[in-house]
Structure 1
Amino acid sequence: MASFKKGDQVEVCSKQEGFLGSYYSATVVNQLGPKAYAVEYETLVEEEDESVPLVEVAAADELRPTPPRLRLGGSGFCLDDKVDVFANDGWWVGQITEKRGSTTYFVYFASTGEEIPYNGSLLRAHLDWVDGRWVSSKRRD
């Protein structure tokens, strides 16, 4: 489990029903002990005042560093690549099922059974945070 300090850019894994497995960009605003942090989200806001970023407590096991952006060679993503899609204010894990033209990818989400088209600019290569380092899903499968 990684240790974070005030100002660190992180992603917070949601464990709420309907959002399970999605990640949201945030900044650590305070460490509340060895297993909890206060975080301020980049894209989530307070219900009462949508001009105020949401700040909440997250358990240490729900945080990971912001993943590095990988450079894609050639024509971008390939069929069956595991990707993260930026949608609904967070990153969601899916799998490429089809490519149309040079920029449209169809992504299947196992968690919902949906297949949705996205512009390639909303996708990133999926990486897993394992034992304190980033691991490509292509190397693990």
Structure 2
Amino acid sequence: MEVFRKGDEVEVRSKEEGFLGSYYEATVISQLNGNTRYKVQYKNLVEEEDQTRPLVEIVSADEVRPMPPRTVGEATRIFYYLDKVDAFDNDGWWVGNISGKQGSKYWVYFDTTQDEIAYPVSQLRNHLEWSNGKWVSSK
């Protein structure tokens, strides 16, 4: 299991109903219980009571992964039919498949919700899985 330190930028997988499989960018604030849990502060999620304050949460280590590598030329990327991608929506990254292209936008189909939504290329990235300490392409 990966060990993260204070200040590391990570992504946290949601286990909440309706958000399963989505990932949210966060920074590790501290390690807890011998690295089995982490206290994180989210980049885009805010507290319900005070929407000006970033959400801070304690999450289990199996919900945390490093930030995926950025790829050169992300803004000019081309996707193809059925490519597995992550789409940035509702403050997090959601896994889907390219289902079409219209103008400069790509349509993404999400198995979990049966939704099909159009996104600009700036809100899409190639889907990668974190497996055995390495990023693995889904292709």
| Superposition TM-score tier, normalisation by shorter sequence | over 0.9
Task: State the Cα deviation string for residues 105-135 of structure 1 (Å, max 9, x = none).
Answer: 0000000011111111100000000000000
* Secondary structure of 2:135's aligned partner: strand
The one-letter code of the counterpart of 2:80 is C
Unaligned runs of 5+ in 1: none
Contact 1:107 1:116 survives alignment (8 Å): yes
Contact 2:7 2:29 survives alignment (8 Å): yes
CA apart distance, 1:72: 5.6
Alpha-carbon distance in structure 1 between the residues aligned to 2:70 and 2:127: 10
Contact 1:70 1:125 survives alignment (8 Å): no
**1:56-71 pair list within 5 angstroms:** 56-71=57-72
Percent of matched pairs sharing the same residue:
58
Alpha-carbon distance in structure 1 between the residues aligned to 2:122 and 2:44: 17
**1:77-96 pair list within 5 angstroms:** 77-96=79-98
Task: State the Cα deviation string for residues 39-76 of structure 1 (Å, max 9, x = none).
Answer: 00000011111111000101000000000122469861
Contact 2:12 2:25 survives alignment (8 Å): yes
Provide TM-score, normalisation by structure 1.
0.93
Contact 1:44 1:54 survives alignment (8 Å): yes
Partner of residue 98, structure 1:
100
Aligned residues: CA RMSD: 1.4
Alpha-carbon distance in structure 2 between the residues aligned to 1:20 and 1:26: 17
Alpha-carbon distance in structure 1 between the residues aligned to 2:9 and 2:91: 16
Aligned residue-pair number = 137
Partner of residue 28, structure 1:
28
* Secondary structure of 1:64's aligned partner: strand
Counterpart check, 1:40 vs 2:41: yes
Alpha-carbon distance in structure 2 between the residues aligned to 1:17 and 1:58: 16
Contact 2:38 2:59 survives alignment (8 Å): yes
Q: Which runs of 4+ in 1 moved over 2 A?
A: 70-75
